[in-house]
Amino acid sequence: MDEKITEASSKDNYRQEPKVGVYVCHCGGNISDIIDVKAVAAALAKYPGVAVAREYAFMCSSNGQDLIAEDIKNLGINRTVVAACSPSLHELTFRNVLQRAGVNPYLHEHINIREQASWVHKADHAGATAKAIKLAQAGVEKVLRKDPLNAIRVAAEPRVAVIGGGVAGMRAALSAAGKGLEAVIIEKAPRLGGKLLELGKMYPSGEEGPAIAGKLEALVRADKKITVHTGADIDFVGGFVGNFKINFKNADGTSSQVKAGAIIMATGYQHYKPAQGEFGYGEDANVVTLPEFISLMKNSPAGRLEYSGKEIKSLALIHCVGSRQVEGIHKPQADGKINDYCSRVCCSSALYAANQVKDKYPGVRIYDVYRDIRTYGMQHEEYYDKASKDGVLFLRHNEADQPVVTSDRTGHTVKVKDVLTWGEELEVKADLIVLVTGMMPADISLIRSQMKMPVGADRFLQEVHLKLRPVEMANSGVFIAGTAQYPMDVPEAMAAAGTAAAKAAILLAEPDIPLEPFVAVVDEHKCTGCGLCPAECSYDGALMMSEKNGKKIAVVNPALCKGCGACVAVCPTRAINVAGWTLDQFDAMVEAIAKE
């Protein structure tokens, strides 16, 4: 059952003698005001292979549809051409008419005589009519050469593999299980919870990171549909939609495999690690990152903010460390690229932390060195407001004038060219420098290279389309949840993870996954095994050379083929065709149009 590809049974109507019905639509004057639709129908009625040609005011209306269905029933029409609007509007409508009437829905051709004739030749009625006739005749030639097609159905494992057991991974698994799917969480760390396990009090709820993770973990552990593998070191991810395989080593050294119909990538982020010497980091012990500061605060005694046994009376927060970097000003990362993106959550996190300091240790002086304060969330502006009220001193610099941190025996100094005081060079003394570091994607190079997963310029996993398919990857059946895609806070990660689970649930709603039948088909007799086509194929594994009866031939995996036709173009013997769009069909259409 592993990689079985099933074909639904098809009606045998293609064995019958072709009887084409042609239907010309008036489109309520849209077409008939310009084109002589009666002349089109009359011309087509005489065309070879056409059994009946009719015109009607609105073919798409239920009366128009009934007209076709009755011809199928009474006259034995087994292929149809509808000359009307754009196929994007109503091709599906008419395919459904055929289906309902018991004819294979792909034995239909939709000809556009509105956008391509009446609308563009308003001043030339005779010309538009002649063009409509030619287009419809080409449609008849195409439909005569069509074969019945059936959706390719790939049997799918009814299971979702979630890679990463942070909050996004746990939410994705919970949502998938909520829908009744089996979910398997594969987490490399010994515990569930991801980065939250390291964090202290977090906005918006004020709960500690581990407590938030704990709430989700409790739900995960209670759900019988969810299996959890922690301490799992993934060494292989492969397969295709419906049939993925993930191999990993367990903590005890044994190996396991998970088979899944869909994969959710919840691989999360890593904190930006400042370069050696960046604002003194790594050289001066009193320069720490925001996550380090949050844990330090957690461990400080009640009345006194302490670091390495010394009281901290003042601190300076420097924003945008490792984020919003600028070419020529910031040093590139190891891969030669700068982090030019905004890490989204750091402004709110930093001010939330500053407010906690002010609440717990009101005497501590805080300087906030920033470029733009991006407290965009519903309550986040309150953090900014409260910080200002509590006396946090804000210093704003331009990107070109980076603050400079120096240390000597008297302490640490941040030098800022502050635009809020008309570009004055200000120096502030602070006991502790806190670098507000951003997010970078976690290192998942092994999985990425095995699955050829696309990433953006920012190195985060790349969705297909930010608005149309925001959690889907180009790899069919792979979805993204949480900060593997882009920096986000916990509530945002919850939304992304829920949606990733929704997409997986839609994919796996049926026991097998229907795929479009428009895929490449190889004629084994014509194929010479020259091997030109696999080089053109952009979809890994969709087209490969193989041996059959001692002969080298190209073999298509219909589950992976997207029907782009790149292979068709290079085949010297016309051995490959895209089903539904064959070269013979196009030849015949061109002939019909070019005929005097």
Partner 1 sequence: MRELEKIEVDTLVVGSGIAGLQAALDLADQGYSVAIVEKAPSIGGKMISLSKVFPTLDCASCITTPRMASVSHHPRIKTLTYSTVDAIKREGKTFTASVTRKPRYIDEKECISCKRCEEVCPVYLPDEYEQGLGAKKTISIPFTNAIPQLPVMHPEHCIRCGACARACPKDCIEFLQEPAPVEIKAKAVILATGYETTPMTAKKQYGLGKLPNVISPMAAERLLAPHGPYGRVLRPSDGMVPGSIAYVQCAGSRDKSIGVPYCSRVCCMYAIKQAILLSGSLPIADITIYYMDIRAFGKGYEQFYNNARAMGINFVKAKVARITEDEKHNPILRIERQEGDSAPAEVKHELVVLSQGLLPGCDVSKFNLGAGLNDFGFVQLSDETVSSAVTAGAGVFAAGVVKGPRDIPDSVVDAGSAAMEAASYIRKL
Residues that bind partner 1 (CB under 8 A): 28-30, 57-58, 61, 92, 167, 171, 175, 178-180, 204-205, 207, 212, 215-216, 219, 324, 340-342, 344, 372-382, 385, 396, 419-420, 422-423, 456, 458, 460, 466-468, 470-471, 485-486, 490-492, 494-503, 505-506, 509
Least distance to partner 1 from the beta carbon of 239, Å? 23
Q: How far is the CB of 64 from partner 1 (least distance, A)?
A: 10
Q: Which is nearer to partner 1, 419 or 555 (CB)?
A: 419
What token pair was written down for 557? 């995996």
Q: Which two tokens stand for residue 526?
A: 């014509």
The tokens describing 351, both together, are: 């001010």
The neighbour count for residue 443, using CB atoms within 10 Å, is 11
How many whole angstroms separate alpha carbon 576 and alpha carbon 405?
A: 66
By C-beta, is 198 or 284 nearer to partner 1?
198
Residue among 36 and 91 whose Cβ is closer to partner 1: 91
Nearest approach, Cβ of residue 408 and partner 1 (Å) = 31
Nearer to partner 1 by Cβ, of 489 and 536: the residue is 489
> What is the end-to-end Cα distance of the chain in Å, rounded?
55
Nearer to partner 1, 319 or 448 (CB): 319
Q: Considering beta carbons, is residue 515 or 543 the nearer one to partner 1?
A: 515
CB 25, min distance to partner 1, A: 11
Smallest distance from partner 1 to CB 146, Å: 23
Q: Of 477, 585, 430, which Cα lies nearest the Cα of 240?
A: 477
Burial category of 382 from C-beta neighbours within 10 Å (exposed 0-12, middle 13-18, buried 19 and up)? middle
CA distances from 469 to 177, 478, 492 (A): 22, 12, 17
Question: Of 250 and 379, which has the nearer Cβ to partner 1?
Answer: 379
- CB neighbour list of residue 126: distance below 8 Å, 6 or more residues apart: none
Q: Are 528 and 573 in contact (CB under 8 A)?
A: yes
Shortest reach from residue 252's CB to partner 1, in Å: 32
Residue 416, token pair as written in the block: 């800022």
Which pairing describes strands 576-578 and 520-522: parallel, antiparallel, or unpaired? antiparallel
Mapping DSSP onto H, E and C, the string for 57-122 reads CCCCCHHHHHHHHHHHHHHCCCEEEEEECCHHHHHHHHHHHHHHCCCCCCCEEEEECHHHHHCCCC
- Number of helices (H), then strands (E), in the chain: 14, 31
Q: How far is the CB of 371 from partner 1 (least distance, A)?
A: 9
Q: Are 58 and 64 in contact (CB under 8 A)?
A: yes
User: Measured from the CB of residue 223, what is the shortest distance to partner 1 in angstroms?
Assistant: 11
Nearer to partner 1, 280 or 438 (CB): 438
- Integer Cα distance of 284 and 307 in angstroms: 13
Q: Based on CB atoms, which residue is closest to partner 1, 69 or 583?
A: 69
Kindly report each contact of residues 220-223 with a partner whose C-beta sits within 8 Å and lies 24 or more positions away, as own/partner.
220/170, 220/173, 220/174, 220/185, 220/192, 223/173, 223/174, 223/177
CB of 347 to partner 1, least distance (A): 8
CB atoms within 10 A of CB 91: 18
Query: 113 or 168: whose CB is closer to partner 1?
Result: 168
At its nearest, how many Å lie between partner 1 and the CB of residue 505?
5
Bridge pairing between strands 432-437 and 576-578: unpaired
Torsions phi, psi for 350 (to 5 deg): -65, -45
Reading the block at residue 33, the tokens are: 């005001």
Q: Which is nearer to partner 1, 93 or 356 (CB)?
A: 93
Closer residue to partner 1 (CB): 226 or 496: 496
Give the nearest distance from C-beta 495 to partner 1 in angstroms: 4
Nearer to partner 1, 207 or 292 (CB): 207
Strands (DSSP E) along 388-431, which ranges?
393-396, 404-408, 411-418, 424-430
161 vs 501, which CB is nearer to partner 1? 501
Whether the upstream peptide bond of residue 204 has omega within 30° of 0, thus cis, is: yes
Smallest gap from residue 453 Cβ to partner 1 (A):
16
> At closest approach, how far in Å is the CB of 144 from partner 1?
29
Rounded CA separation 50/297 (Å): 83
CB of residue 572 vs partner 1: minimum separation in angstroms? 38
**Residue position matching structure tokens 């839609």:** 506
For every residue of 352-370, which 3-state class applies, written as one string? HHHHHHHHHCCCCEEEEEE
